[in-house]
Structures are given as structure tokens and as C-alpha cells.
Amino acid sequence: MLGVIGGSGFYSFFGPEARTVTVDTPYGSPSAPVTVGAVGGHEVAFLPRHGVSHEYSPHTVPYRANMWALRSLGVRRIFAPCAVGSLTTDLGPGSIVVPDQLVDRTRGRADTYFDSGGIHVSFADPYCPALRSVAAGLPGVVDGATMVVIQGPRFSTRAESRWFADQGFTLVNMTGYPEAVLARELEMCYAAIAMVTDLDAGIETGSGVTTVDVMVEFERNLVPFKKLVHEALAAVATERACTHCLAHDGVKLPFELP
């Protein structure tokens, strides 16, 4: 089974033919019930990251429950569409980018399943190369970017966004961490597909980023963005061949993965 985790403005994925599955986990309930349907010959599970009515802010999303729920349903490969700000004028609103690197600037988020046992996962390359290749190979998609993940829920100051840009970061987001590392701990392939909704505060003049502007831009591009995610799913190989994301090969875990 493949998985899709929808970001801001991305609250549904299937028509009425999809079935709904309620999942409980050792970490509580996920953001919403999971809907399961078919895309391109694959069974696909969809979970809205922020809930069906956007009731979860970036710092309150139940990330551990979300990833555990998808794994327990049989998901092993995940695309994670998300809204991002751009830290360069080369990527304006409407651009679709598949990042290859991540910088964590969050704080206080539960970001591991292994509070004991001395388990460490390799995270040098945080995204699955096989899934990245599929998404980045679609027409009009930009391949490669460093996404800095901030705590939120506020947007960056101008000084912060200029600092991020000076560091060579390309995109700014609030939810890409700890989602990616939790996927790695659960040995699930994971790739983000980012849609640029705005130029960050330090990159353009004016009043800065607003929620209304972000949501308007996302809604304007939602239909083609969903179509692109459908195309990415349909292009995924039937059998999973990736070994990059098998983080625990040769390691004895303190508990069994779901």
C-alpha cells in the first residue's frame, strides 16, 4: 500500500468510492480517519496532516500517531504534499519542488519512537531516492532543494528568512520535521512534494506572508497539484526495491515495528 499525507489545503484525495478506516495507535489517534482508495493500480491510504478541518497547527500535529497508523495499515511508501514558502525569486508561487535535503529548526516536538534501546538511524539523505526520482521526473517539477522546517505557527521575520536564504536554504516549511525522520524510523520510504505558495518575508517587500494569501494560492493550484500527486503514485513501481530507507538492517530493536 502507498500513502499520501496531505498538507495545508489538502484535506481530501478520493471520491465517495473510498473506504474510511479508523486506526488507534500507542501514540493516540492520528489527525483524522484514513481513507483508502485506488490510484494507478495501487491501493493508496490518504491522511490529512492537519485534520479534515485544519484543527491541528504545525506544532500540535500528532506526527507519531500519523506515521504509526499508516505503517500499521501496510503503507511502506509515502508521498507528502506540502505548502512551502520560497527563499529565492527563482521559485515563485505555483512552483512544484521535490526537496532533497532538510534542516530542522523546530523545538520540543516528539521526534522518535526510540526513547530507549540506543537506536540511531542514518538521516544524511532524509528522503527516499526512489520516490524522489519518480516525483522529480514529472513534467514541470523542480528536482532538488533544501527545506528548512521552522516551529511555527508564526511565519518568519524578515531577518530570519534572509538568514535562511544566506545559508543556502531554498524552501521554508512548518511540518516536514519530524515527519520525515519518523518515516525513516519505521522504515517507510518518504518523499516530500512541495508547492510554493509565497515568497518569504525577507525575499520580497510588502507586508509579509499572511495565512489568507497562502491558502488562496494553494486553493488556486489545488486541482493540478492533486493531479500531479496522482501521476506520481501511478508511476511508482509495483514492488518496493529501495534499501536506502531500511534503517535498522542488522540492528535488534527494543520492539517490533507495526
Please list, in sequence order, all residues whose beta carbon lies within 8 angstroms of the beta carbon of residue 86, skipping any fewer than 6 positions away: 92, 93, 95, 170, 171, 172, 196, 198, 199, 200, 203
Catalytic residue, from 90, 100, 125, 198: name it: 198
Helices (H), the chain: 63-72, 129-136, 158-166, 176-185, 211-235
Q: Is 143 annotated as a binding residue?
A: no
100 catalytic? Reply is: no
200 catalytic? Reply is: yes
141 half-sphere exposure, CB direction, 13 A CA radius: 24
Q: Is 200 annotated as a binding residue?
A: yes
Q: Is 195 annotated as a binding residue?
A: no
Which residue has cell 516536538? 109
Helices (H), 20-175: 63-72, 129-136, 158-166
Q: Is 109 annotated as a binding residue?
A: no
Q: Is 166 annotated as a binding residue?
A: no
* Contact status, residue 57 vs residue 127, Cβ threshold 8 Å: no
Q: Is 50 annotated as a binding residue?
A: yes
Catalytic residue, from 90, 115, 125, 200: name it: 200
For residue 142, the SS3 value is strand
* Contact status, residue 172 vs residue 164, Cβ threshold 8 Å: yes
* Contact status, residue 194 vs residue 173, Cβ threshold 8 Å: yes
Q: How far apart are CA 79 and CA 193, in angstroms?
A: 7
Q: Is 162 annotated as a binding residue?
A: no
Q: Is 199 annotated as a binding residue?
A: yes
Question: Can you say which residues are annotated as belonging to the binding site for phosphate?
Answer: 8, 49-50, 175
Question: Can you say which residues are annotated as belonging to the binding site?
Answer: 8, 49-50, 174-175, 198-200
- The residues annotated as belonging to the active site are 198, 200
Question: Can you say which residues are annotated as belonging to the binding site for substrate?
Answer: 174, 198-200
